[in-house]
Amino acid sequence: MNWLNWLDQFIEVLVALAAAPLLLGWVNMCRAWLQNRSAPSLLQPYRGIRKLLHKDAVLAHNASSLFRIAPYIIFGTMVAAAAMIPMLGTRLPFTAAADAIALVGLFAAARMFLSLAAMDVGTAFGTLGARREMMVGFLAEPTLLMVIFVASLMTATTALPLIAENLAAAQLAIHPSLLFTAVAFAMVMLAENARIPVDNPATHLELTMIHEAMLLEYSARHLALMEWAAALKLFNYACIGLALFVPWGLASNGDPIRLGLAIVLLAGKLAVIGAGLALIETLSAKLRVFRAPEFLATAFLLAVLGLLVRLLQVAR
């Protein structure tokens, strides 16, 4: 059933592309509800992207070609990452080419291009944002790796679909190591996706921005791609989290009915994750920038604890 697996792969990327802005819209909607505001439409992120695609792009005089191609590279990276994450099924032909460590590398590559593009025009804000993004990144990446290593240790593979498949097939038990790493992962997810408490996606204050500061010079289709890529990143992270900690319900073969079921189940899981994200963002204030390393260090510590617990269990 090789062609079915390829179909599965294809549908998965399409679903990720189409549903990523929806997840963002859902988070924003929940946030508005929790703050007693009337919520924007669920489709607002799509409207934003459509609006931007209809505009003429404005580039700074001194923008280099790097600045122009960065949005395509970053968007492409996020699409490639989506292809490697088991969202609907676990038989993804694409995973033969890359494993979870490569996935972390893809995110790092996107970050590098984003930061370079931000510094390219030479405005103070872009550099400011790039600097802070690197500070967040160099602490978040090891934590993400550590989280994946714990799952890898339990399943003896670094391929995400196999990890998910093995975890789902394993006997249902409470794994303390996974509990620690789940908290660590949630913290990394907040930091990596520029959410409160590390960054504030809704702010208009240039001096406090991290992610938004890097996008200030972008307009029209470039900005649309950047925003879409950011939505995809959030979607990807949510799906990594699901694959590691709630892996049940993924289609293990290309069966269309199981695939359809998996889509419904994914929607349900993402709705819960989105609501949880909105809850965290409403309850917390933004951290002082220099508290972000402490926040991420805590995440790293938790991931290491998870790893130690796992090793101790194995040793016993």
Residues in contact with other proteins by CB under 8 A are 31, 34-37, 124-125, 128, 196-197, 200, 202-208, 216, 282, 284-291
Nearest Cα neighbor of 129 from 9, 247, 5, 226 is: 226
CB of 217 to other proteins, least distance (A): 12
Distance (Å) of CA 208 to CA 129, 201, 219, 243: 9, 10, 20, 33
212, 218, 23, 92 alpha-carbon torsion, rounded to 10°: -110
Residue 204 or 316 with smaller CB distance to other proteins: 204
Rounded Cα gap, residues 314 and 175, in angstroms: 12
User: Nearer Cβ to other proteins, position 258 or 286?
Assistant: 286
Instruction: Rank residues 145 and 216 by Cβ distance to other proteins and give the closer one.
Output: 216
Rounded to an integer, what distance in angstroms lies between the CA atom of residue 230 and that of residue 75?
8
Output 96 or 205, the one with its CB closest to other proteins.
205
Query: How many angstroms separate the CA atoms of 72 and 7, rounded?
Result: 24
Q: Which is nearer to other proteins, 37 or 316 (CB)?
A: 37
Q: How far is the CB of 182 from other proteins (least distance, A)?
A: 22
Nearer to other proteins, 36 or 65 (CB): 36
Distance CA 241, CA 183 (A): 10
* Token pair recorded at residue 196: 């409160």
How far apart CA 80 and CA 74 sit, in angstroms, is 10
